[in-house]
Structure 1
Amino acid sequence: MAIFYYSDFKTEFNSSNFGDDINPYLIRQLFNSSIIESKDICIVGIGTLLNKKNVDRLSPYTKKIVFSTGVGYGDVPSNFDESWEFVCVRGPKSASQLGLSADKAVCDGAILLSDFYPIIAESDKKIEKIFIPHLKTHWAAGRALRKIVERAGYFYLSPDVPTDFFVEKVSIAKVVVTEAMHGAILADTMRVPWIPVSIHEHLSFKWEDWFSSLGLQYENYRISPPIWNPAKNDLKRVIKLPYQFSKECLVEAKFRLLLHTCQAVLSDEAVLKSKKISLYNSVEYINKKYGDGMAN
């Protein structure tokens, strides 16, 4: 399958990650099978993928088509050859980094998920509030965080659960607090208010890029002090228990106050609709130009 997305979590750690794993599903829904099955053409999909390391990985393909991808996690080559076509990127910061015109800055393609999953009416929402950590934060601090946020009344939703389960839980929530950017993107397109937070993992560039694409003012709320999973060594765990407990209490208090002190975000419905139209126009262009499986 000629779709490029970040699959290292799967290949190196045998772990799913919602923001990456939506690619095979969504791209199959959007693009002609002749493109997807091509050995020469590669669709560069959803994610923060445009950096030198990934560009080098794609050199075997004769044509690389960029669809709603973001810049980040490394240097970006200053020049791309004719084998690259940037149909659209995540936002204006990515476009600027790549030297593209402003019209190429559309949005993250994950906003189209709400056209393939049902949007739940407010009266049918069953979860008061959800917390979504970044996958790496889940690995490093998930056992502690799950306990903390559940005491504070949140549903703890890790990004490594099956895609349908992840979408379902976000869809039936009244508000989402998320460190994972695609948790925010999904919440926004499913019309669930959301609050962006950082604990361990936060790349401001990609968040600002996506915020700007929807005309939103960038903001992020830091949850501190840093919290980690308890030590596995019994002696270390006993020694650090009072310190761990005090930190957990502070973090729990912040989660309890969060919804009272921070304004939840939701993009303008008209802006979101406009971005979807632009993405579908990009899909139509790609299908018409490359649908026969031959790069022009």
Structure 2
Amino acid sequence: MNLYFYRGKQPNFGDELNTWMWPKLIDDVWETDDDTIFLGIGSIIFDFFPKDKKKVVFGAGYGGYTKLPELDNNWKFHFVRGKLTAKSLGIDENLGIGDAAILLRSCVKQKVDKRYKVSFMPHWESTFIGNWELACQLGSIHYIDPCAPVDDVLDQILASELVITEAMHGAIVSDALRVPWIPIQPISNAHSMKWFDWASALDIDLKPTQMVCSSLLESTVLFFDDKSPVIADKFRRRGTLLLNVAPQIFAQRAADKLLNISKNVMPSLSSDVRIESAHDQMLTKLDELIIDLGKGKVIY
């Protein structure tokens, strides 16, 4: 199978989990010249895959970034990220088991001492338009860079008593590894639906908290995001000078908000029963995948 995942102008934790996790779970199936596309972690159920290639969906979700694909016999759904994806695709809602990153429960066994009382992880796109690292410094909050290597991010999540996160996989991984988390409403509304998709699989009553902007650039992008996405994208690409306009003022407001959230917002965590059930179902699906492929082996 060809392992497909999204990569933007810089690698980011959620998508890079694909290259880190899957080789630790299954072996002897990864062939770049194969006609099968493997869709694991990410909002990567798109409409532009070649129709003649087989698409194996193993936990991926539909994020609304493209039109819905036209499903035929070349699509094989083992499970999807959540009930919203299943409903959008018109497939059995019971296939909405959860995000495949829950399988990290089979890969991450190390015990890590708690070093950070509160950590904050922004969405990877926010690292380019915000001053979040400065905000965390001003608030004495640990900053988790979503573009750092997977091993580093995993270690920092495990070392945190609480993770406040705008990055969806900051929440998904924290939840899977039993670290309490608080969801932040994404700066871009385009990233909101997928959160509720994942939450629906685990019966999480998701209530994202509104955050303030950490830079003038971020504030400008947010202003135009709904009114004129084209203008918002232009500022994302070319508005870096706005990062240096009163950075301390914007960052301090963001720091104060993060501290307020850490003290006054109830952290989230799915129930032990739901996360264990989702994980067990995914392990069963792994065995079924190997049988279906007629090759490979499970190695977790």
TM-score (norm 2): 0.84
Q: Distance in 2 between matches of 1:32 and 1:291?
A: 13
Q: Does 1:25 align with 2:20?
A: yes
Q: Could you tell me whether the CA contact under 8 Å between 2:101 and 2:172 is conserved in 1?
A: yes
- Match among 111, 121, 125 for residue 136 of structure 1: 125
Q: Could you tell me whether the CA contact under 8 Å between 1:32 and 1:287 is conserved in 2?
A: no
- Match among 173, 187, 204 for residue 200 of structure 1: 187
Match of 2:37, SS state, is strand
- Match among 46, 49, 57 for residue 57 of structure 1: 49
1:101-149 deviation per Cα after TM superposition (whole angstroms, max 9, x unaligned) = 122110001011132113537xx311111110101101111xx221112
Q: Could you tell me whether the CA contact under 8 Å between 1:58 and 1:64 is conserved in 2?
A: no
1:154-182 deviation per Cα after TM superposition (whole angstroms, max 9, x unaligned) = 11111111110110010011000000000
Q: Distance in 1 between matches of 2:195 and 2:43?
A: 10
Match of 1:222, SS state, is coil
Q: Distance in 1 between matches of 2:71 and 2:51?
A: 11
- Show the 5 A alignment for 1:192-271: 192-198=179-185, 200-202=187-189, 203-225=191-213, 227-228=215-216, 240-241=245-246, 244-271=247-274
The answer to which of 32-41 and 124-133 deviates more is: 32-41
What is aligned with 1:2?
Answer: 2
Supply the AA of the counterpart residue of 1:139. Answer: F
- Match among 51, 70, 80 for residue 79 of structure 1: 70
Q: Could you tell me whether the CA contact under 8 Å between 1:36 and 1:43 is conserved in 2?
A: no
- Match among 110, 115, 120 for residue 126 of structure 1: 115
Q: Distance in 1 between matches of 2:133 and 2:289?
A: 42
Task: For structure 2, list consecutive stretches of 5 or more residues without a partner in the other structure.
Answer: 219-238
Query: What's the offset of the Cα at 1:218?
Result: 1.6
Q: Could you tell me whether the CA contact under 8 Å between 1:35 and 1:292 is conserved in 2?
A: no
How many residues in Structure 1 have an aligned counterpart in Structure 2? Answer: 275
- Match among 38, 46, 61 for residue 41 of structure 2: 46
Match of 1:177, SS state, is strand
TM-score (norm 1): 0.85
Query: What's the offset of the Cα at 1:281?
Result: 1.3
Query: What's the offset of the Cα at 1:233?
Result: 5.5
Q: Could you tell me whether the CA contact under 8 Å between 1:134 and 1:201 is conserved in 2?
A: no
The answer to which of 201-210 and 213-222 deviates more is: 201-210
